[in-house]
């Protein structure tokens, strides 16, 4: 089928890679397997898959480094697979641009559901609206022009932004959060509201994950425009409440 979605599985354990491939193929996806981290970035660039399942521990190059390098040229959804259960490692994966993570041991059916949800979000995000306090906030739309607020410009087609003279690419999650706040400057968004904006499949993540995304956005936009304006002047933390752009 021409509209069949492709999944690249970057996993060095053959049995796990084959198990994931079998379940994904049964669910209607095309799959490719890469078992060497040193060639994964180049392969992602050439194959242009619809989603990447990326193991953290790989020979040649680890998954976190691969994720970081891929984010320099592609916004393909990335699901990290890890045996590391420490939350810092999970948040680090998200901070580097991963869209989700799954811990070993895992259920292959859960992996299929996670991928299906991510691809559904990618498919509908071009025309999606997220309700915030009874109002609808567009997270992205190919038919809508970029929005501007102060020195910030957000391109809804590319999930990218420009702050002053600095251009940068954001993950889909980061873009949705920043877009929602910039679309309603001065409005304070609770972490729960930002969670609903960022994860449209209803998933619940911790407050620390939301804080990590905000921290990552600030890092990417870390720029002093002139003698007065900085990214800290744009994105404000409201203690005990949430965040706002103003």
pLDDT at 7: 96
Residue-wise pLDDT for 34-79, tens only, equals 999 999 999 999 999 999 999 999 999 999 899 988 888 887 889 9
Residue-wise pLDDT for 131-158, tens only, equals 444 444 444 334 457 888 888 888 876 6
| Strand extents, DSSP E, the chain | 6-10, 30-34, 51-55, 78-82, 100-103, 129-132, 135-138, 147-149, 152-155, 160-163, 166-169, 189-190, 235-238, 242-245
pLDDT class for 227, splitting at 50, 70, 90?
very low
pLDDT at 124: 47
Average pLDDT over residues 98-102: 82
pLDDT at 219: 85
pLDDT class for 117, splitting at 50, 70, 90?
confident
Higher pLDDT, 122 or 150: 150
| Domains defined along the chain, listed by start | 6-124 (3.40.50.2300), 128-245 (1.10.10.10)
For residue 71, report the phi and psi dihedrals to the nearest 5 degrees. -70, -10
Average pLDDT over residues 204-218: 82
Instruction: Give the DSSP letter of residue 235.
Output: E
* Average pLDDT for the chain: 80
Cβ atoms of 90 and 63 within 8 Å: the answer is no
CA nearest neighbour of 111 among 190, 194, 25, 186: 25
Euclidean distance between CA atoms 2 and 230, whole angstroms: 46
pLDDT at 139: 43
User: Strand, coil or helix: what is 226?
Assistant: coil
pLDDT at position 232 over 60: yes
CA nearest neighbour of 70 among 52, 57, 84: 52
């Amino acid at each position: 089928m021409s509209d069949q979605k492709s999944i690249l599985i970057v996993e060095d354990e053959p049995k796990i890679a084959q198990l994931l491939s079998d379940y994904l193929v049964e669910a209607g996806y095309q799959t490719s397997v890469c078992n060497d981290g040193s060639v994964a970035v180049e392969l992602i660039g050439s194959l242009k898959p619809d989603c990447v399942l990326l193991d953290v521990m790989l020979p040649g190059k680890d998954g976190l480094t691969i994720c970081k390098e891929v984010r320099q040229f592609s916004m393909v959804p990335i699901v990290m697979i890890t045996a590391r259960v420490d939350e810092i490692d999970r948040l680090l994966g998200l901070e580097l641009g991963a869209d989700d993570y799954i811990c070993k041991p895992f259920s292959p059916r859960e992996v299929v559901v996670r991928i299906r949800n991510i691809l559904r979000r990618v498919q509908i995000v071009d025309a999606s609206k997220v309700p915030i306090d009874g109002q609808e906030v567009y997270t992205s739309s190919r038919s809508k022009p970029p929005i501007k607020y102060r020195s910030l410009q957000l391109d809804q087609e590319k999930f990218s932004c420009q702050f002053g003279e600095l251009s940068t690419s954001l993950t889909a999650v980061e873009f949705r959060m920043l877009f929602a706040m910039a679309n309603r400057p001065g409005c304070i968004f609770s972490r729960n509201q930002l969670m609903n904006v960022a994860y449209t499949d209803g998933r619940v993540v911790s407050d620390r994950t939301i804080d990590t995304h905000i921290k990552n956005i600030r890092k990417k936009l870390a720029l002093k425009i002139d003698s007065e304006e900085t990214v800290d002047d744009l994105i404000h933390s409201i203690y005990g409440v949430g965040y706002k752009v103003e």
